[in-house]
Structure 1
Amino acid sequence: MTNNPSFISSATRVITMERDAVSVLAERIDETFERACEILLGCKGRVVVTGMGKSGHIGNKIAATLASTGTPAFFVHPGEASHGDLGMITSGDVVIALSNSGTTAELITILPLLKLLAVPVIALTGNPSSELAISADVHLNVGVSEEACPLNLAPTSSTTVTLVMGDALAIALLEARGFTANDFAMSHPGGALGRRLLLKIDSIMHTGDEIPSVVLGSALSGALLEMSSKGLGMTAVVDKNGALAGIFTDGDLRRAIDRGIDIHSSPIDDIMTANCRTIRPGTMAAEALRIMEDNKITVLVAVDSEHKPVGVIHTHDLLKAGVA
């Protein structure tokens, strides 16, 4: 592999130019941006993002970010809007229109119709004097002095700045709504965060006959057989009423052997861990993981209101579920 310094210098130039363009954008965040946020926050319908070409690609991303952070949104292609898709926009919506030039014909064509629907328009353009900027209810300037493209033709710096402005709007709205990690998880149930924040132990814990259990007074040998048959490296120890009295684990066995205890004749009562950590059904799996990590344990017994075991959850279960 050759180390071509022109590649490195080109990449460095692009990154520097786009970084500087974003820095300039920060200076434009003022009461106009606040007004745009107020309009979006007050939207009774959906936020409709639209744009042609590269602006359209950026618009798709902005719509997706808005939708996943608490602001219902979708993207409409402005060319298709003139051929029927304008019916997707209702009087309760707000439109975010993207055009670096501010003169994109497909957007200009639908402006009068948006006015008839009394749909507020927030324009993101690089030309404050353009027809789109002037016609919009709010104009956010995303102009750049030059593109990172050496020909100053390919949308590069301008699309980056537009994307950052879209992110700024989305996150400002997220904070204004008090949007939480749990809210985020609700729209991302298939992702790692969704699993961590939505999954409850009830869905993955071992229940019924799968729970290893012996009664107080049982011989240690019997507890070992129960542990072996259930394969969880532990057994619950219950009293005559079925309430949890303690837990016996592989670790307890090792410590018993180190102490020279006769594993064939000793009762489980002498070796088990009493007052063990427990958890209640309905607890989030992520909370179970936190308890295990904080206490350096690998298993938890879920107990009901009478302190009777109703389930067992192991770190392996959390790993399999994608929580750990």
Structure 2
Amino acid sequence: MSTDDKFLPATVVADPIADPGIEPHEHRITDIDPKAADRAERQVAAMFGIATLLTLGACVAYFAIPRHAILVFGPLTGNANNLVLGLTLGLALFLIGVGAIQWAKKLMVDNEIVEMRHPASSSDEDKAAVIEAFQTGTAESGFTRRKLIRRSLIGAMAALGLPAIVLLRDLGPLPGRKLYTTIWADGIRVVNDVTLRPIKPSDLVVGQLVNAAPANLQEIQEESAVEYQNAKAKAAVILVRIEPEKIRVPAGRENWGIDGILCYSKICTHVGCPISLYEQQTHHVLCPCHQSTFDLADAAKVVFGPAARPLPQLPLRVDADGYLVAQSDFTEPVGPSFFERG
């Protein structure tokens, strides 16, 4: 034997491993004892039933427990309403899951089967076989036969939808007519939104654009910060001065401007972004979010972009002290369109 022969691997011929097949099926006690099966069915139904009661309890607790009630556990504290909601809904989902597992382990058919692989594209015969297998599985699960489980599960799952409906209350009250109005009214002065100084027509030169707000906004700020932000978001306006001969005045708006000074909502009618990018040569104002462009010299009509409505115009006049004031609120809702808007 040469030296190289010592390092050649030996050829080993091994017999293939035989297919062990499926082990003999072992019957469960619920397979051979109807009383045990009925007992397991009652256990599963009890879990589903308790889950239903817990879900209903969550709905009751949502209204019954004060929203700001606090529970104290030694050094730990927590909101009572949130804690009870979490416990009841969490336990309801837990019991539905445990009940489903108990149902599968004790009552559904547990025979192992062998299914040969098939091509990716199924034939009509295979599709029919799948449907038949599904129907067989449904029958073997006992879902159609065991009415107690079926009804209790349907009740538990249906009850889970109730908290979702109840929790819609947290979205807040319906807006009602608030979307149609702002805090502008007859006689409300137009002030600079930074300095809060009232504005006179002489303060504006041709080509100038000023961001403005209603003078009564500060009164709301002193009362409620939330209402202040809501009012400010809707009432923000832009003042612009254009050469009067270049303005195309719609019918009915002949007295809405003062010597070429026009006032429009600052809120884009597309999705509500604030706008003030002004090009004085074309009198176009651009929304920075989606490039909707409005012609302020032509009733703020849309000349480009996704916005579907012109900017609402605020009618102006001059008060006894020479300051710009509103004649009224906007004559149409400001901001994006909404379902109830005509």
TM-score tier, shorter chain, comes to under 0.3
TM-score, with length taken from structure 2: 0.23
If each structure's helix is expressed as a fraction of its own residues, which one has the higher value?
Answer: 1
Larger Rg: 2
TM-score, with length taken from structure 1: 0.24
